[in-house]
Structure 1
Amino acid sequence: MSAEEQRPADGLRCLVTGASGYIGGRLVPELLAAGHRVRCLARTPAKLRDHPWAGEVETVRGDVTDAASVAEALRGIDVAYYLVHALGTGSGFEETDRRAAETFAEGARAAGVRRIVYLGGLTPRDVPERELSPHLRSRAEVGRIFLAGPVPATVLRAAVVIGSGSASFEMLRYLTERLPAMITPRWVHTRTQPIGVRDVLRYLVGSAGMPAEVNRAFDIGGPDVLTYRDMMRRYAAVSGLRRRVIVPVPVLTPTLSSHWVGLVTPVPAAIAKPLTESLRYEVVCHEHDITRYVPDPPGRPLPFDDTLALALRRIGEAKVTTRWSNAAVPGAPSDPLPTDPDWSGGSLYHDERSMPVTASREALWRVIEGIGGDNGWYSFPLAWAARGWLDRLVGGVGLRRGRRDAQRLRAGDSLDFWRVEEIEPGRLLRLRAEMRLPGLAWLEMYAETDAEGRTRYRQRALFHPRGLAGHAYWWSVSPFHSVVFGGMARNIARAAGQGQGAPRRG
């Protein structure tokens, strides 16, 4: 029986892991548009609730390393998309990736899943796997686990994925725009075969309908084979910049390169390291057999210049649906805000401010929801900038991540060195710090109406210290709170009163 004959009348039942990430967040609406039913597996389902497609999917809480939650998520599923990795720089992530893949493969067998679709990395054919970077090696191993497992698998292997908001695109964009002349590592001469995110999604969706006998890996890439220097110069040409002067030197190791990238671009060293490590190897497609099952329409895959132009247009139109920073940053805290001040037997420091506002709650909310990114933090810009640079120097995310959308936020969005943990439109914005800190920190902003019907702005900063260093940190910065947090409250209230919130589109 063919795959088409097996397909239910209302589409295949698909599970998407990593739906809060860059690729997963874009794959879900593509699957829905293709007529499939979608279930998402997420450690924090709240991160998905504000996506435009949230009401059209089923979301279950779980983790790919937990066999019980994997079994529940895979129940009744036809095709399972595996889009997660234990991205990190410390030891142990390879074992985590291996264990998660084995758990998922066994869970798929037990649930009667027809196919696993995995997006991995393109690896060089002439380099033994043991000599690859840990991240490329781990991705190759995960692909092997699925291909050797009991469920037919499609393993798509891509090199550099280019699209608005992708980590590779952001790295290319900021290096090129900010450095008209640069000294670069030797990897700028290494050939690679970039692919546009739209083509990656097309191959992912098409893989769901492959015949049951197909169990193999496919190289996927765009039509252009380029060096990183070629990509920077072509980015400059497409975006109307002057030709860049690029001087490669042999002394920048992948670790040094990642810190250099972390200082110049919004991509922190923890994420830049696996990207720069992969650029050491020539990764070029050796076949294009995917077209036997997912034919390319005319003009596809998109050429590199067209992919760049499309990404830049999406950024200019503020239509970036997902970003690399959608996924949690390695090493960033994920603990929810404690409701008990004495949680875990520790202290919870707080700084609370409240200000009257001579404007409506709606006007105040526009200012609150528009905070960060190009709009700044309404207080002592030099102090915020210095804190961002300090965070970058120690390997943190810094302030350069900006915003996904200039006006609207949703749960799970990154916002400079914060992440939106909770948002109640018109009332509450709660941010969790992802900067490097000796503890956990949150910032809450409220638009409220008092007993007499007047608008008030309320702001609360909370900090749960970790050990003696955490207590010392809080007391060392508390003298500056009146300037930073007090000024922030006053300036937000003033901005609302002056109608400075960005007007809504649509």
Structure 2
Amino acid sequence: MLCLVTGATGYIGGRLVPRLLADGHRVRCLVRDPDKLRDVPWADQIEVVRGDVLDPSSMRAACHGVDVLYYLVHSMSGTGFAERDRRGASETSRVAAEAGVSRIVYLGGLHPTDRSELSEHLGSRVEVGDIFLSGPVPAVVLQAAVVLGSGSASFEMLRYLTERLPVMVTPRWVRNRVQPIAIRDLLHYLVRAAEIPDSLNRTFDIGGPEVLTYEQMMRRYAVVAGLPRRVMLPVSVLSPRLSSHWINIVTPVPKSIGAPLIDSLVHEAVCTEHDIDDYVAAPEQGLLSYEQAVRLALARVRNGQVDTRWSDASGNTPSDPLPSDPRWAGGSAYRDVRVRRTSAAPETVWRVIESIGGRNGWYSMPLAWAARGWVDRLAGGVGLRRGRRDAHELRTGDALDWWRVEQLDDGRLLRLRAEMKLPGRAWLELGVRPDTGSGSVYRQRAVFVPRGLSGHLYWWAVAPFHGAVFGGMARNIVREAEQSTGRHRPAEGSSGTHGAG
């Protein structure tokens, strides 16, 4: 069976594709930027089509010969997102019918029966499901609540709130009932939905085996994580909007994502039926309990085995190019370039470059980076706390603190695009090449394209700090590579070989 996956660079899509492959399906992915799938482990097993659900021509090419279409696209922020979602679903339904697609599978959210109570975000998700159900291609709309899995936005929000706040003031919505589901079980239902008879056209509520309040979820998380008992002080005056600001400060999840998550928790999110059991057998080992799901997610976080993260999906256009020529870019481009020679080998310097950010930091003025991150968070940006998906390896498209990996030439160049709040666009390049004779040359380039007068003023306001920030970064990266060379150099007289113990 040929499956088309839209949203393959997102949290759910990036985990669904390898499971479809393991189940024997052929997979085609529709993505705006194919480079974002270049470094995934399953890249050579899929077909990639460049395009967008809003572009009928690319959708026609992507849908050719497809049996099942997985629609995992949903806007989380930005003006007019509901209209974009509406158009995307309508175009997809129409083109899928023209191409002879047999089934559409869409992942929506659990919601109350009274739709007048829905937030704009949850209402948009429900509307997309309705568009597919009323369209010419039979659809299976799976409706889920909180997803428990390493790297999911819901899990990260739960985790950081519980770990960082031993005493917390809790608004009304934390006492609403929720039926969370483990990411493993959600993926099981998504994969098996491809086998549901084509004649079926309906929604299915899916959830784990337990119904809990969000307060109970936090308390039970603390037990699993080995934390002291959390003290919760209930109040009735905190609105979802205020809660989203608080989550923006306390957790890595920015307000643009936290607000829709809270909006979905304002209402109880509990399955009203579990008819999916009539068509899809439960996972072989049964549905994971809440504690099992949390324990598994924490283990994967601690072991660095997070396959995808909520931050994998970018709200910006992933293919924005680096303006290497100001005239070509249509305006001014400011640059800060640093070049340093080092005795360290290129591969040693590259290891330092590729492990930058996250817990490893940025090799210069950590307080200044932290302060800038807090300013960005207060302005509604992503800040520094997104961290890294993996402590040592990067992929094109990875989120890296407030940057996005735009280009990754292994062993040679790392190009990052800023996703912080700025009056312009910014990039940071870190590269290394062999030097003549021995050693290597480290080259670092920061580029800023201002937007209006405020952009020019911003650059000149921060320019006095570039010597300490960017200069210190270049010096310290080279120093770390040289010290790493010393730490790994075999002792005099040693053969340089080691046993496997």
Residue 339 of structure 1: how far off its partner (Å): 3.5
Report whether the alignment pairs 1:38 with 2:30. no
Residue 293 of structure 1: how far off its partner (Å): 1.5
Report whether the alignment pairs 1:185 with 2:171. yes
* Alpha-carbon distance in 2 for matches of 1:271, 1:355: 40
Q: Tell me, which stretches of 5 or more residues in structure 1 are unaligned?
A: 1-11
Report whether the alignment pairs 1:236 with 2:225. no
Match of 1:174 among 125, 137, 160: 160
* Alpha-carbon distance in 2 for matches of 1:38, 1:501: 46
* Alpha-carbon distance in 1 for matches of 2:232, 2:377: 24
Asked if the contact 1:370/1:406 (under 8 Å) is kept, the reply is yes
Q: Deviations for 1:381-430, whole angstroms, at most 9, x for unmatched residues?
A: 01000000000000000000000000000100000000100111111011
Asked if the contact 2:162/2:230 (under 8 Å) is kept, the reply is yes
* Alpha-carbon distance in 2 for matches of 1:104, 1:95: 14
Q: Deviations for 1:438-492, whole angstroms, at most 9, x for unmatched residues?
A: 0000000011122333311110000011111111111110010000000000000
Report whether the alignment pairs 1:456 with 2:441. yes
* Alpha-carbon distance in 2 for matches of 1:331, 1:70: 21
Cα RMSD of the aligned pairs, angstroms, is: 1.7
* Alpha-carbon distance in 1 for matches of 2:409, 2:79: 38
- SS of 2:429's partner is strand
Who is 2:349 aligned against?
364
Residue 358 of structure 1: how far off its partner (Å): 2.2
- SS of 1:499's partner is helix
Change (3 A) 1:439 1:332: farther
Amino acid at match of 1:291: D
Who is 2:462 aligned against?
477
* Alpha-carbon distance in 2 for matches of 1:141, 1:77: 24
Change (3 A) 1:67 1:302: same
Who is 1:80 aligned against?
69
- SS of 1:68's partner is helix
- SS of 1:208's partner is helix
* Alpha-carbon distance in 1 for matches of 2:254, 2:411: 32
Asked if the contact 2:339/2:442 (under 8 Å) is kept, the reply is yes
Q: Deviations for 1:353-397, whole angstroms, at most 9, x for unmatched residues?
A: 011222111111110000000000000001000000000000000
Q: Deviations for 1:197-226, whole angstroms, at most 9, x for unmatched residues?
A: 011100000000111111110000000100
Asked if the contact 1:370/1:407 (under 8 Å) is kept, the reply is yes
Percent identity between matched residues is: 64
Q: Which aligned runs of 4 or more in structure 1 are off by greater than 4 angstroms?
A: 331-334, 500-503
Change (3 A) 1:396 1:458: same
Change (3 A) 1:199 1:500: farther
Match of 2:128 among 142, 148, 151: 142
- SS of 2:461's partner is helix
More displaced 10-residue stretch of structure 1: 334-343 or 207-216? 334-343
Who is 2:291 aligned against?
305
Count of matched residue positions in the alignment of Structure 1 and Structure 2: 490
Report whether the alignment pairs 1:154 with 2:148. no
* Alpha-carbon distance in 1 for matches of 2:79, 2:245: 19
Who is 2:232 aligned against?
246
Asked if the contact 1:333/1:434 (under 8 Å) is kept, the reply is no
What TM-score, normalized by structure 1, do the two folds share?
Answer: 0.95
Asked if the contact 1:367/1:500 (under 8 Å) is kept, the reply is no
Report whether the alignment pairs 1:439 with 2:424. yes
Q: Deviations for 1:271-318, whole angstroms, at most 9, x for unmatched residues?
A: 000001111001100111111111014542111100000001111111
Change (3 A) 1:326 1:502: farther
Report whether the alignment pairs 1:318 with 2:304. yes
Who is 1:6 aligned against?
none
Match of 2:99 among 111, 114, 134: 111
* Alpha-carbon distance in 1 for matches of 2:81, 2:295: 36
More displaced 10-residue stretch of structure 1: 233-242 or 451-460? 451-460
More displaced 10-residue stretch of structure 1: 245-254 or 15-24? 245-254
Amino acid at match of 2:80: G
Match of 2:87 among 91, 96, 99: 99
* Alpha-carbon distance in 1 for matches of 2:45, 2:284: 31
- SS of 1:498's partner is helix
Who is 2:326 aligned against?
341
* Alpha-carbon distance in 2 for matches of 1:192, 1:502: 51
Amino acid at match of 2:43: A
Residue 500 of structure 1: how far off its partner (Å): 7.7
Q: Deviations for 1:233-267, whole angstroms, at most 9, x for unmatched residues?
A: 01000010011011122222222111110100000
- SS of 2:238's partner is coil
* Alpha-carbon distance in 1 for matches of 2:121, 2:159: 23
* Alpha-carbon distance in 2 for matches of 1:326, 1:248: 34
* Alpha-carbon distance in 2 for matches of 1:391, 1:437: 9
Residue 92 of structure 1: how far off its partner (Å): 1.2
* Alpha-carbon distance in 1 for matches of 2:282, 2:476: 54
Amino acid at match of 1:287: E
